[in-house]
Structure 1
Amino acid sequence: MSQQTVPSDFNPALKMYGGQWGAALPLVLLVGGLLWLSLAGPANPKSFWSIGFLAICGGLLLAKSKKEYCATVLRGISDRSAGVLIASWIFASVFGQIMQAGGIIEGLLWFGLNTGAQGSVFTVITFVAAMLFSLGTGTANGTILALTPVMYPAGVFLGADPVFLATAILSGGAFGDSYSPISSSNITSAFTQDADLRLITRTRAPLVLAAAAISLVIFAVFGGGGEVKPPMEFSAAMSPECLFLLLGFAVVIVCSLLGRPLIESLTYGIITAIAIGIAIGRLSFQQLLHPVTKSGMSTGLFEDGVNGVVGVIIFILFVLGIIRVVMESGIMETIVNWVQKAFVKNLRQAEVTIITSTVLTTIPISANVPCEVLLGKTFVSPISKRFGITPERAADLLCCSVCTIFYMLPWHIVCALWFNTVSNAATKYQLYAPPISAAFVMPYGWSLLFVLYFSAITGWQKRIPSESMATSS
């Protein structure tokens, strides 16, 4: 089988005591510390800072060239994609704060109490809303930041189960990441497999919709059980006019679908939400930004929005530095090459191995796009060509696989962000905050993983090369 030559992250100047496995020590320390904190009791991204700091310091002790190790960590922290991600988080968090202050929670409470959309019904609505928002924007992170401050407190007040309500938002975000045509995961998988992006939108639909249907049933069965009891301070403020703020969500989705950058789309959504909030008398310019009158006082909703993601941003910077050390050590490429030689003998094994290897590779890597880049050309594409798997099928397996277990691990970017946002919303309204380990309950991730293995083993929705070529032509 001919192998393709692809750009490698391997850095021969990064030498560690213990070789490649020595380079894995910072990641081992990070994962072990996070698991310890998560299992020991309530935690938040700020409490994870010390673990990330100590993990980087521990790796430095094993570095033969301290200078090169430090340079590698700084390359991870200063990565351009991280800057884009952080900027998107900030704008999405501000948008969520504006929607919340404008009265969208009161509008949703009015809707739930007057239509019977309570308990598990509201959890299902939350899942569908998150699916639509992430499908339109192509971002799970933006979906979490925009919807959680609104849907989580409203749902808990309307009797939804806190854990399943929170994971409904996470699941909806994962749906968009695995299927949206403008999702970075979708685009990357198509690029690495030379697949037709329009065609995989059709070939992937049965896989992701089957997983979404299973998840919807789970949310319908287990998403309720709480007490419907809106707090007294909301009772007088509940009004259907607050539902006009949903136009803010619509503006973001439509602008994203029209190809506008996410930050631009969110800016238009923020402007729309502010205009509606002022028009219905729920917002004032003084709430947005005002002079500090005493020490420690917030300067308004803009600051609140930015402050809401500071904790997770600092934690993620540590994680990105550690992941860059792992990537440049070459250990991931060594593992991938060994799996390819040892386990792949036929078509079914090839597809099962693609799914399993992708899922396992996402465990140490905190972002799913780098995982797709690492595996796409070096592993998935050569195996697919060897066993006659079409580029579209390979892209489907790759993209869907990185949107399963990846969304459940506390050291991953999206999971840490989700936990931080849920915790902030719960604290603000004195509600129960699920622990970060609740992400393991996330139905969509497990459902999609089941559907993928079912498809690979049984042949359901497997594309035949001649059919794909005929369709694309």
Structure 2
Amino acid sequence: MTESSSASPTLRFRGGWGVSFIPLLVFLATCVAYFVVFKAFDMTALAMGAFIGLLAGALFARDYKGFWDAALRGFASPASMTIVAILFVIGMYSQLIKVSQLSDGFVWLADTIGAGGAAFTVFTFIAVCAISMSTGSSIGTMFTAFPIFFAAGLTLGANPAMLAGAIVSGGIFGDNLAPVSDTTIISASTQRFRYKNGTADIGGVVKSRLRYALPAAGASILLFAVFGGSSTASATNILAEHSNPAALWMLIPVALMLAVAITTRDIFKAITAGLVLGTGTALITGLITWTDVLSVTDGAPGGYLVTGIQGIVGTVALVIGVFGIMGILLEAGVLTKVSSTLIRGRLGRTPAGAETSIALGISAFTVLFGGVNSASMITFGPVADEIGARAGLHPYRRSNIMDCFAMGVSCIVPFLSAFLFIGATLVSGYDIPEISAGALFTGTLYPLMLTLVMIASIVFGWGRRFEAADSTPAKTPTVHTVQKDVEPAVVA
């Protein structure tokens, strides 16, 4: 939160402070309308809902100009601009991975090793994890992976519901862990250090998150291996059509990008390395041509550098819109009320209790936002930052608790989840019995396993870290008492 978060509310509404929720409620109504009613997922439409909400809320403000000044401060906040800048550069990188068709290389590999049934379901989960880690986009990966892996898996005798769940799970895994994922960026950028300037660095967050993501992925693999097969197979065969071993060369720039992100903890250096080596690799191997990099056709610019920017604009608009709503809630004193209530409650008095408050809060927001965990983390991130800091929790730990629970069961609630609606829609055209969102829920194992891992982490304190006064992580705090209206606890 900004420094003003602890001051008296500066923004007042006709009808009381509760009216300040109008922008958020309009935004939530937009999420429900598009996901539940129209079954359409579009970031630009969600951004529209955020801005319509702001227009509606301004009508009830006692100071109309003050309302928009608060929204503008939210738009232009350091966290908002950091996320926007990172999203634009990863948009270009993600588009490079898509146009080079890395997924075709994994299909060739599966065909070569003769994977079938349950084995192909396991292979699909691992391959989609790699693709999603490369692109940082769960939804984008799903749209790419379903037409290729699902049809091929039916041919090889995979269980349809488990195969679809493996694809959704793999997309969520990459979103949870990739340093180029918008959710990874948001979860890190909203958690501030208290003993030095800046927010949690993405490389450090990703490195510390491995201890939770990998066990959850391992448990998912075992379950996919047991339940991923089926006694029947479809006649559809697209293995030959989407099989290209040369695409596997793109794993080299992907590995470099990940290594640079983790070792330097600088996402801009990582993306630069990935773009340069990735473009060179794709050109040399013939996966793309120079026109795929930059081109102009009939006066219209093209190429992955341009389309990468175009493709991320909707997400950027969503981020800006939600940060505007946050600016209103902050200056109306709402976020302060929420965080103060959680901090002063029984749960906020211990590190485990603070983690539980963050877990419950982000889960509730993610459900309300229809599984759109980027929006829920933008909204709840400052609250999690305040709650965790009062308990002395390290920014990495706060980021991991928030992100992993947002990527857990809360993002795949059957009657609200955008992930499940999209997954069920993408399998509706195949010659198989309809797979409902509820059936897909049981096959989406990674979020379920991740939730269990994180609950155990809170209960047993596994991976819990504290921020020390010298900015290095401490294993246990010397002092972590929480009192009413005090500064964050000092830890040794």
- Using the size of structure 2 for normalisation, the TM-score is 0.70
One of 334, 356, 360 as aligned partner of 1:356: 360
CA shift digits 1:306-327 (9 cap, x unpaired)? 2222333333332221122122
Deviation, 1:246, is 1.5
Corresponding position of 1:137 = none
Deviation, 1:250, is 1.6
Query: 1:370 and 1:259 mapped to 2: Cα distance?
Result: 28
Query: 2:297 and 2:324 mapped to 1: Cα distance?
Result: 36
Corresponding position of 2:337 = 334
Output aligned runs, 1:148-187, within 5 Å. 151-159=145-153, 161-175=163-177, 185=187
Corresponding position of 2:258 = 253
One of 272, 276, 296 as aligned partner of 1:291: 296
Moved more, 213-222 or 238-247: 213-222
Query: 1:309 and 1:431 mapped to 2: Cα distance?
Result: 34
Q: Is the 8 A contact 1:76 1:320 kept in 2?
A: yes
Q: Is the 8 A contact 1:372 1:402 kept in 2?
A: no
Query: 1:312 and 1:187 mapped to 2: Cα distance?
Result: 16
Corresponding position of 1:191 = 193
Corresponding position of 1:27 = 24
In structure 2, give the amino acid aligned to 1:124: F
Bigger proportion of residues as helix = 1
Corresponding position of 1:269 = 274
Corresponding position of 2:136 = 142
Q: Secondary structure at the match of 1:291?
A: strand
In structure 2, give the amino acid aligned to 1:304: T
In structure 2, give the amino acid aligned to 1:156: F
Moved more, 26-35 or 335-344: 335-344
Query: 2:308 and 2:461 mapped to 1: Cα distance?
Result: 45
Relative to structure 1, is the Cα distance of residues 171 and 49 closer, same or farther in structure 2, using a 3 angstrom cutoff? Answer: same
Q: Secondary structure at the match of 2:11?
A: coil
Corresponding position of 1:102 = 100
Q: Is the 8 A contact 1:193 1:381 kept in 2?
A: no
In structure 2, give the amino acid aligned to 1:266: I
Query: 1:351 and 1:282 mapped to 2: Cα distance?
Result: 46
Are 2:326 and 1:323 equivalent residues in the alignment?
yes
Deviation, 1:26, is 1.1
Unaligned runs of 5+ in 1: 135-140, 386-390
Q: Is the 8 A contact 1:192 1:373 kept in 2?
A: no
Identity within the alignment, %: 18
Output aligned runs, 1:103-142, within 5 Å. 103-117=101-115, 119-126=120-127, 128-129=129-130, 133=133, 142=136
Deviation, 1:125, is 0.8
Q: Secondary structure at the match of 2:193?
A: helix
Deviation, 1:277, is 2.5
One of 88, 91, 94 as aligned partner of 1:90: 88
Q: Secondary structure at the match of 1:325?
A: helix
Relative to structure 1, is the Cα distance of residues 328 and 450 closer, same or farther in structure 2, using a 3 angstrom cutoff? Answer: farther
Corresponding position of 1:138 = none
Query: 1:277 and 1:398 mapped to 2: Cα distance?
Result: 34
Deviation, 1:237, is 7.1
Query: 1:250 and 1:52 mapped to 2: Cα distance?
Result: 37
In structure 2, give the amino acid aligned to 1:122: F
Relative to structure 1, is the Cα distance of residues 372 and 229 closer, same or farther in structure 2, using a 3 angstrom cutoff? Answer: same
Corresponding position of 2:469 = none
Deviation, 1:154, is 3.7
One of 343, 346, 351 as aligned partner of 1:343: 346
Higher RCO (CA 8 Å, separation ≥ 6 residues): 1
Are 2:14 and 1:17 equivalent residues in the alignment?
yes
Relative to structure 1, is the Cα distance of residues 300 and 91 closer, same or farther in structure 2, using a 3 angstrom cutoff? Answer: same
Deviation, 1:62, is 1.2
One of 38, 41, 46 as aligned partner of 2:38: 41
Unaligned runs of 5+ in 2: 467-473, 479-490
Query: 2:272 and 2:131 mapped to 1: Cα distance?
Result: 19
Query: 1:251 and 1:43 mapped to 2: Cα distance?
Result: 35
Output aligned runs, 1:404-443, within 5 Å. 404-405=405-406, 443=445
- Using the size of structure 1 for normalisation, the TM-score is 0.72
Relative to structure 1, is the Cα distance of residues 44 and 330 closer, same or farther in structure 2, using a 3 angstrom cutoff? Answer: same
Q: Is the 8 A contact 1:167 1:442 kept in 2?
A: yes
Corresponding position of 1:66 = 64
Relative to structure 1, is the Cα distance of residues 162 and 308 closer, same or farther in structure 2, using a 3 angstrom cutoff? Answer: farther
Query: 1:284 and 1:463 mapped to 2: Cα distance?
Result: 48
In structure 2, give the amino acid aligned to 1:125: I
- How many aligned residue pairs are there? 436
Relative to structure 1, is the Cα distance of residues 300 and 191 closer, same or farther in structure 2, using a 3 angstrom cutoff? Answer: closer
Q: Is the 8 A contact 1:44 1:419 kept in 2?
A: no
Deviation, 1:204, is 7.3
Deviation, 1:349, is 5.6
Moved more, 206-215 or 259-268: 206-215
One of 225, 239, 245 as aligned partner of 1:240: 245
Deviation, 1:25, is 1.5
CA shift digits 1:323-360 (9 cap, x unpaired)? 22122222122133234444349867666445434544
CA shift digits 1:217-251 (9 cap, x unpaired)? 455456676858554xx736733223112212122
Relative to structure 1, is the Cα distance of residues 244 and 202 closer, same or farther in structure 2, using a 3 angstrom cutoff? Answer: closer
Q: Is the 8 A contact 1:211 1:451 kept in 2?
A: yes
In structure 1, give the amino acid aligned to 2:405: T
Q: Is the 8 A contact 2:192 2:385 kept in 1?
A: no
Query: 2:7 and 2:221 mapped to 1: Cα distance?
Result: 42
Relative to structure 1, is the Cα distance of residues 154 and 431 closer, same or farther in structure 2, using a 3 angstrom cutoff? Answer: farther
One of 337, 362, 375 as aligned partner of 1:366: 375
Deviation, 1:113, is 1.1
Deviation, 1:69, is 0.7
Query: 2:97 and 2:399 mapped to 1: Cα distance?
Result: 35
One of 299, 303, 307 as aligned partner of 2:306: 303
Query: 2:174 and 2:41 mapped to 1: Cα distance?
Result: 22
Query: 1:100 and 1:345 mapped to 2: Cα distance?
Result: 44
Corresponding position of 2:471 = none
Query: 2:228 and 2:103 mapped to 1: Cα distance?
Result: 19
Query: 1:34 and 1:228 mapped to 2: Cα distance?
Result: 38
Deviation, 1:85, is 2.4
